[in-house]
Amino acid sequence: MGAVRWIIYIVLLVGLIGALVWGYQEQQEKNAVLIKAENNYQRAFHDLSYRVDTLNEKIDTVLAMNAPDNVSPQMTDIWKITSEAKADVSQLPLTLVPFNKTEQFLNNIGEFAYRVSIRGLDDDPLSDDELNTLSQLQDQSNEIRRDLRTIQHEVLSDGVRWMDVEVMLATNEPREDSIINGLQTVERNAESYDTFDDSVGLSAAERGDQEVEIDGEEQTEEDIREIIRDYFELDNEAELVVTETGEGSVIPMYNASFDTEDLHGYAEITRQGGHVLSYLLSRDLDEANISLHDGMNEAQQLLEDLDFDDVKMVESIQYDKVGVYEFVHEQDDILYYPDSIQVKVALDEGDIIGLTAKDYVFNEQTRTGRDFEATLSEEEATEHINQSLEVREQRLAVIENDLGEEVLAYEILGTIDSTTYRVFINADDGFEERVERLKQSEEVYN
């Protein structure tokens, strides 16, 4: 009996040690994910602050210039910097903090700089109105630069974490926070300059100012709770937090976050109609058991169930144990890339772990009409590509150009050596709108 008892003790002890080691490893992995997210947020914000600094200096330099030959390269740099700054903003956890006026400010500068940089300034120099507009943009960038520097100082001196702010916003806690208050100040300063004369090359982005009306009855917070529990099959024990988006949101929505024993989720649901526009589920994934193609079938079935029956898959890629699929609207044999939907499928069990359909819904609700016609033929379009590109496929597609305008283009898929590229040639004038190197499935390292 004594020997048996000792064996039992040893087995229990080994089991306890194993559980502790497993728990420690799980906690370390979660901490690593949080640290990576925090580092990404910090990097994006500090990059944004640096770029607005540089932007302010560039505009100041242009205002002091006289030679047109010097102005054009500077305006090209300004356009490039604003594009990078907008990318930085998109990486910050600003879902629940309206920041559209600041994004509009960056868009205004970028659009103005682009239009100026591509025209012949020797024959058509900057007008007095354009110089006045540039001066206004310089004043605004200076204010925003100071605001961002203030936030940066407080973040560094007080050790404020963006992850804490994200949790605070998601759980609707009192919002007395240096980052939140600072961003609201930035937004107020951006709003004070949000109207420009369209004659000088600036236009208010319709997307930033237009509120979308979705079909269906208005939902209360309690209605949204029921929708979430039913949609994700949550029991009453699941922790569920629902908050409403602030004023200025393009699509009035509720944001929901929930936790179960083995699942964490985040979802966006329209206030009108209670439609689930996007969600992301996080759980431990096992080894992939289904192919990328099988995952595509699951993604297509989801979109059929949601009545997205006019879409076509344009790209699929595997990231380790997850398949990511992009679908776009198709009409009259033309693909509309602005109307996109992204679906993520876990390749261990084939379940959907991510959906993003906001762009599709926005464009479906706001676009009044489309009338595109190609001037160039397919053969003429291929004359405008790199002749080293071996063409594999060609089709018509609508994309957004660098000014955010929709244009009809020939989408040409081809290869150079073993690398696949996607080239968009304007179907009206043959301009090379965009060149993309298509991603390959991510290599798995053990």
Domain 378-437 has CATH 1.10.3470: no
Element (H or E) spanning 229, and its range? helix 221-231
Q: Residue 264's beta-bridge partner residues? A: 259, 282
User: In sequence order, what are the residues at sequence separation of 6 or more whose Cβ sits closer than 8 angstroms to the Cβ of residue 367?
Assistant: none
**Residue-level pLDDT at 191:** 60
List of residues 6+ apart from 219 with CB closer than 8 A: 227, 254, 269, 270, 271, 272, 273, 274
Determine how β-strand 390-400 pairs with β-strand 406-416: antiparallel
CA-CA distance, 148 to 132, in Å (whole number)?
Answer: 24
Q: pTM for this structure?
A: 0.59
Beta strands 390-400; 334-346: pairing state = parallel
Q: CA-to-CA distance for 131 and 117, rounded, in angstroms? A: 14
Spans in the chain with pLDDT lower than 50:
96, 194-208, 442-446
pLDDT of residue 383: 93
Instruction: Please report the pLDDT score of residue 62 as a whole number.
Output: 81
- Which residue in 427, 369, 393 sits closest to 312, CA to CA? 393
Task: List helix spans (H) across 237-357.
Answer: 292-305
**Residue 399 · residue 425 · CB < 8 Å:** no
Tell me the domain boundaries of the chain. Answer: 24-209, 221-366, 378-437
pLDDT (tens digit, 9 = 90+) per residue, 420-431?
889 999 999 999
Tokens of 373: 């016609």
Q: Residue 170 has what pLDDT? A: 58
pLDDT single digits (tens) 127-148? 788 888 888 888 888 888 888 8
